[in-house]
Amino acid sequence: MYKIPNDLEIVKLKNELISQVCFGLNHIILFFSKGSIQISGSFSVCINGVTFSYLEVYPVNNDFGLLHLLEKRIVNVNIKDERTSLRLEFEGGIILNLKSNELYESFEINFDGRRVII
């Protein structure tokens, strides 16, 4: 739907520690000290070299492997050239890929005093 703005300093997410993973009916929120990331669309998570892909979050009926992110630090952040996908790499080799959808809001980034919906 929307792209990640060019002026959003996403690199500031490096070294953030995931302190809480919250599950709602239609979304999942990852909390860290400077803010949060809300997932409501498609994503994939790679744990121990095995990738699990999900087209949508609804209905939330399991943890999707995201509980493995608790107390893990973000060690690398990447945005694809089209600025529609966000890749977060965590301690222990866990990788979370958030993907946008042309029709729906897929994820929301709240940090550094900004709220960005993608």
**Per-residue model confidence as pLDDT tens digits over 62-90:** 788 899 999 999 999 999 878 889 999 99
Question: CB neighbours (10 Å) of residue 81?
Answer: 6
Within-domain flag for 84: yes
Within-domain flag for 60: yes
**Chain-wide mean pLDDT for the chain?**
91
d(CA 51, CA 95): 9
Domain that holds residue 27: 10-117
Taking residues 18-41, what's their average pLDDT?
94
Confidence (pLDDT) at 48: 93
d(CA 77, CA 48): 19
Within-domain flag for 1: no
Output the pTM of the full model.
0.92
Question: CB neighbours (10 Å) of residue 58?
Answer: 11
At 26, is the pLDDT very low, low, confident or very high (cuts 50, 70, 90)? confident
Within-domain flag for 5: no
Say which residues have a Cβ less than 8 Å from residue 52's Cβ, sequence separation at least 6.
Answer: 44, 45, 46, 64, 65
